[in-house]
Structure 1
Amino acid sequence: MAARTPAREAAAAKIKDISTLATSARASASDDRLLITALRTLATFDNAKNAVFFLVLYRYTTRLLRHLKVYGISESLFQIYRSVSARAFALLLKTPAAKRKVARELNAAMKEVEEKIVPRPSHLEVNRSLPQLGKESEWIRGEMGKLQTMEAGVDAKVVESDWKERDGQSVWKGGKVSGAVYHGGDDLSELLADSIRQFLVSNPLHPDVFPGVRKMEAEIVAMVLAMYNAPPGAAGATSSGGTESILLSCLAMREWARATKGIKEPELIVSVSAHAAFDKAGQYFGIKIHHIPVDPVTRKVLVGRVARAINSNTIGLVGSAPNFPDGAIDDIPHLAKLARAHKILLHVDCCLGSFLVPFLSKAGFESEPFDFRVEGVTSISCDTHKYGFGPKGLSTILYRSAELRRFQYYVKTDWPGGVYATPTLSGSRPGSLIAGTWAAMMHLGQSGYTQSCRDIVGATKEIVTRIEREIPELYVLGKPLVSVIAFASAADNSVSIYDVGDSMSKKGWHMNGLSGDTPAIHIAVTRLTIPVVDEFVKDLKESVQTARASFSGKKGSMATLYGLGSGVSATAIVGELASRFIDTLYLL
């Protein structure tokens, strides 16, 4: 072993120092890399946070700007006020004192509603469970005869001799009901009953079992498409009513926009006068609904405001022909022009116009463009159970092309029960209603519907003319072209229109109160109204004078009900009242 010398020790020390320095350098380099990695990670995290922040900011700013574009600053601020007020009122309602007060008022209101809607005559049995033994056919027919004589709002203490003298159909046969019953005559009713009976068990879900029903449904759709001047290649389907037809049109628009334009946050632009079923579709299908005001004079949707509301998420526009509140036909050509320019869809709701608007010109009346002849109209809803006089529970939804119709289909290919495919929201459907509708359409034909239009619209125009000439205290909203007439108090407000409505109710008239921008009442004229036009005008004159003479500032039932919608707090109470009303329908 070599001896340790100072020189050797000095060399070893230098080597050790160099090794220590190298180790230190390596450690330092490693720390630097860790630091750099950490800084890079932190920078990436910060960038991600910033990106998310700016993305959220951009998204909500875009939404805000879109909203401001549609409604303007003042209306948007009012909407915020209503929203905040509604939340505050909802919290207030949770306090014990408010709960007790609201409960008392609602219970009192519902007691009156229940007494009217749920009569409990002593001569009728109440069935809460299945009978132990099935009843004889004669007993059932007897009970159904009694059920037919029931009348809402009549004292429950009815003796047998009274109800035997009643006709349960007299309430609507007298022609005092606004819309609701679209009766084509006793002969047609008999024909419909026979048709329904013949196809009572049929179901279009099984076309291989019921090919006759399939054929009738296809013919109904084809005939209604022809009525609305559909182009070659147009298609349609039947539904359970106008609401489902509207729901299907909105579903198809949403799916079309998702498939062709990649829209994941769909928005639909409708008039404030459009049917509430569009709002229902918005809630069901996640579609944001923009409500555009109507012109106070023409009652048509303001097309300029519609144009302002269109954005990259807009899937379609909606027009009515006519609308339900005041019977105005929207400016369909200009709406169609907007739809074409922005490459979106346009639905025209003709559920109420149904078998009247297509026959206006043929019947010699003024009309406006509304159907598939207007380029840009992509779908139309039309009820057959209104002025088509088919049995209740059937409507049609029409599309410019079969491709559009497919967007309303539901198809499931991997169900253990086999391939499940339906054209509408329903699975099983009553083929009997299709048979009844087919029978009505074939029985009346073009000549029958033209004459029906001539009679009904003629009666409408007579009522309009007589109100304008003979009742200066009232004025007619817009320019009714079809069957709906809305009227309001004249500018001097010498009478309350809702007091007029209460007086008409006491005279047996069932009319609709309107609570929009202009408080009003409307009547939808049907064939049943035609023979009682003189009586209607006479009663309306008397009701106006009664309202003028007895005005004391106390609100009647119609004024109370429709006045509630004007306040934020009252709106919440009306919602609860409406829900309780629906609950009442299932009471015994």
Structure 2
Amino acid sequence: MITIPLVGTVKIFVNDAFKEKEPWQIVTITTTSLLTAIWLWDLIFQDESLADRVKKKGMKLARYIPAIRAKIDKELSKINADFEEDCVRRVKNVPFIVTLPKEGFTSEQVLKLVEQCTQLGDFDWENGKVSGTVYKNDKDLSQLMGNVYSIASYTNPLHPDIFPGICKMEAEVVRIACTLFNGDEDTCGTMSTGGTESILLACKAYRDYAREVKGIKKPEMVIPVTAHSAFDKAAQFLKIRVRTVPVNSKSYTVRIDDMRRAITKNTIMLVGSTPNFPYGTMDNIEAISELGIRYNIPVHVDACLGGFLICFMSQVGYELPPFDFRLPGVTSISADSHKYGYAPKGSSIILYRDKKYRHHQYTVSTDWPGGIYGSPTVNGSRAGGIIAACWATMMYFGSSGYLEATKKIIDTTKYIEGELRKMNGIFIFGTPVSSVVALGSEDFHIFRLAEALVAKGWNLNSLQFPSGIHLCVTHVHTEPGVADQFLNDVRTELEIIMKDPKLPVEGKLAMYGMSQGIADRSVVGEITRSFLDAMYYTPKLKLASIKK
């Protein structure tokens, strides 16, 4: 018996199939077959499963049915009205000023109105009832920042010849940060307006670097699913494809093997978080650094949330694996000075291992009739007052001040985590490394606990996929009694919830929990846009009356 190899069988089949065909037919069939195969490959092998995509497509098509579209529009209109009503409620019916006053207010009147506006809201952030948001409540520091800003409020580093002192202060802030993250004389960076801009700038730098040096025209970034949504925003702005990598089910840190498999010839950057926002866990930056070296891909470490804690933790007794420029593969780090650096809002720092990366962050226009234009960040004009206030904050704290604050915050976080782990009905996501403790439950819907704590004045961050809540511990929570009050309130509400754990979620978070089950995420997007619209809602009320 003669056996014909598989390749030979296919060859015979193809020759028989085409032996009666004309050349143009062979070319047409071959081209069509190849294009069809490519289309099927792209259809089947995507980041999202075929089943999920079919489900989403079905939901989108269903919205073209008039009855379904009308029902969705009705619900969205109701949600929009609820958001607007909530907006008015939050400002406690204080009249909106919707036209310029005929005569300008006095300084005293303006200050009174500003004070009134800043005191609106239901949550007592001054006494630690919120997660994150306000990282230190220090009246002396606030007065210092206000005084510094008033001196430098008119300055603008866009004009270094006119305001060289502001540029000097920015350079000093960057160099201090380079030292804190174990950089060398080649390490460099800039300040930015916040973590989102710092991340966007890093993405822009790597996109342009990859295009010029490696010829990559279809850039991709590989990020953990827990990476901050600012990376997705940057991808939308800069037309970069995002390849998300799942996290380990126990540690909630990125799965390194999956990250390696996600790397392609178009990968321009790898990302790790220290820590990530949802769970406060730290990705294995050492392993990501090794991937960066092996595949010659820049590695960005997002330390926006905890950067100004983790750089001090080893000095106060909390050792961490290396995460900064000590690792040869790490090429950039973002860290927010307006969080645990305690600087005023609107200040962050982006650092690079080498100027060659920072050069690609810059925007340079050489042929503009207005002159040669160069800008280091997204903004042209920048608030010199914020730079000066950030510099002043660092000088005010000094190394000893930051070490003291870091120890208090990490000690308090570890205490809260330890006590929460003793409570029945809840669990902690992974192992928090700095100041974020995330809670979940396998016995009841965790949003029930969140709603119960809201009723007691606490405002926590809600998580999804899976549902969870987290507390971001700040210096305010280190004040006497704050942590214990939080723990006591959690215990009290858990006892009530566990009496009937199967009850559904009620209140505002019921909609948040429900949204996770909506396959057509465009509906969730419309709800989110309605929420954002409500932030700018101004009801048609009369001009606020100001007593002279």
TM-score (norm 2): 0.89
Identify if the C-alpha distance between structure 1 residues 381 and 57 changes in structure 2 by more than 3 Å, giving closer, same or farther: farther
Aligned to 1:137: 107
- C-alpha separation in 2, matches of 1:276 and 1:352: 13
SS in 2 for 1:522: strand
Task: Report the residue type matching 2:181 in the other structure.
Answer: Y
**Distance in 2 between the 1:96 and 1:60 partners?**
32
User: What is residue 62 of structure 2 aligned with on the other side?
Assistant: 92
Q: What is the correspondence of 1:385-404 to structure 2 with a 5 Å cutoff?
A: 385-404=338-357
Aligned-residue offset at 1:486: 0.6
What is the rounded CA distance, in whole Å, between the counterparts of 1:572 and 1:527 in structure 2? Answer: 38
Answer whether contact 1:124 1:146 (CA < 8 A) is retained: no
1:510 aligns with 2:459: yes
The SS at the match of 1:428 is: coil
Deviations, residues 521-580 of structure 1 (Å, cap 9, x unaligned):
1110001111200001000111212222355633223243133223304x3322111000
Tell me the equivalent position of 1:230: 183
- On the 8 A contact 1:204/1:431 being kept in 2, the answer is yes
CA-CA distance at 1:64 after TM superposition? 7.0
1:500 equivalenced with 2:449 (yes/no): yes
CA distance in structure 2 between the partners assigned to 1:554 and 1:319 by the alignment: 36
Q: Secondary structure at the match of 2:476?
A: coil
Q: Any idea what SS the aligned residue of 2:72 has?
A: helix
What is the percentage of aligned positions where both structures have the same residue? 38
Q: Does 1:284 align with 2:254?
A: no
Which residue number corresponds to residue 8 of structure 2? none
2:544 alignment counterpart: none
Q: CA deviation at 1:92?
A: 2.2
Indicate if the aligned counterparts of 2:202 and 2:350 stay in contact, CA closer than 8 A.
Answer: yes
Q: Which residue in the other structure is 2:384 paired with?
A: 431
2:147 is aligned with 1:177:
no
**Largest Rg, 1 or 2:** 1
2:86 aligned residue (95, 113, 116) = 116
Give, in angstroms, the shift of residue 284 of structure 1.
1.1
Give a deviation string over 1:259-285, Cα, whole Å, max 9, x none.
Answer: 111111111110011001111111111
Q: Report the residue type matching 2:310 in the other structure.
A: V
Relative to structure 1, the CA distance from residue 180 to residue 502 in structure 2 (aligned partners, 3 Å threshold; closer, same or farther) is same
Name the counterpart of 1:330: 283
Shift of 1:50: 8.6
* Distance across 2 between alignment mates of 1:463 and 1:445: 27
Give the equivalent residue in structure 1 for 2:492: 542
| Secondary structure at 2:536 match in 1 | coil
1:178 aligned counterpart, secondary structure: coil
Does the 8 Å contact 2:408/2:475 carry over to 1? yes
Residues of 2 paired with 1:377 and 1:216: CA distance?
A: 26
Alpha-carbon spacing, 1:584–1:123, altered in 2? closer, same or farther (3 Å): closer
Aligned equivalent of 1:528:
476
Q: Please state if 1:485 is matched with 2:434.
A: no
Match of 1:565 in 2: 516
Cα pair distance change 1:187/1:54, threshold 3 Å:
farther
Q: Secondary structure at the match of 1:442?
A: helix
Q: Report if aligned partners of 2:289, 2:299 keep a CA contact under 8 Å in 1.
A: yes
The answer to whether the 8 A contact 2:126-2:137 is kept is no
Instruction: Output aligned runs, 1:260-275, within 5 Å.
Output: 260-275=213-228
Letter in 1 for 2:169: M
Deviation at residue 59 of structure 1 after TM alignment:
6.6
Following superposition, the deviation at residue 121 of structure 1 comes to 6.4
- The equivalent residue for 2:535 is 585
Work out the CA distance in 2 between the residues paired with 1:266 and 1:48: 33
Select the residue among 321, 331, 350 that pairs with 1:378. Answer: 331
CA contact (8 A) 1:460 1:485 kept: yes
Report the aligned-residue RMSD: 2.4
Change (3 A) 1:115 1:545: farther
Rounded Cα–Cα distance in structure 1 between residues aligned with 2:92 and 2:504: 35
Q: What per-residue deviation string (whole Å, max 9, x for no partner) do you get for residues 42-73 of structure 1?
A: 98x999979976886787688679x56xx5xx
**Amino acid paired to 1:189:** S
Unaligned runs of 5+ in 2: 1-21, 539-548
CA distance in 2, matches of 1:206, 1:316: 32
Distance 1:409 1:146, change over 3 A: same
Cα distance in 2 for partners of 1:385, 1:59 equals 48
Question: Could you say if the C-alpha distance between residues 122 and 552 of structure 1 is closer, same or farther in structure 2, counting changes exceeding 3 Å?
Answer: closer
The residue that corresponds to 2:14 in the other structure is none
What do the CA deviations read for 1:233-281 (whole angstroms, capped 9, x no partner)?
Answer: 1110111100010011111111111111111111111001100111111
Aligned length: 514
Give CA deviations for 1:466-523 in whole Å, capped at 9, x if unaligned.
Answer: 1112x1211111111100001111xxx333211111101111111011112x321111
Distance (whole Å) between structure 2 residues aligned to residue 205 and residue 145 of structure 1 = 31
Alpha-carbon distance between aligned partners in 2 of 1:150 and 1:395, rounded to the nearest angstrom: 27
Rounded to whole Å, the distance in 1 between the matches of 2:299 and 2:415 is: 33
Q: Secondary structure at the match of 1:238?
A: strand
**Please, which of 310, 316, 336 is the counterpart of residue 363 of structure 1?**
316
Secondary structure at 1:291 match in 2: strand
> Given the superposition, is the C-alpha separation of residues 139 and 576 from structure 1 closer, same or farther in structure 2, using an over 3 Å criterion?
same
Q: 1:286 to 1:536 in 2, by over 3 A?
A: same
CA change 1:393–1:55 in 2 (3 A) is: farther
Alignment CA distance shift 1:392-1:349 (3 Å): same
**Superposed CA offset, 1:12-36 (max 9, x none):** xxxxxxxxxxxxxxxxxxxxxxxxx
Post-superposition Cα deviations, 1:286-317, rounded to whole Å, max 9, x if no partner, equal 11111111111111100011111111111111
Contact 1:503 1:546 in 2 (8 A): no
SS of 2:56's partner is helix
Give the Cα–Cα distance (whole angstroms) in 2 for the partners of residues 46 and 235 of structure 1. 61
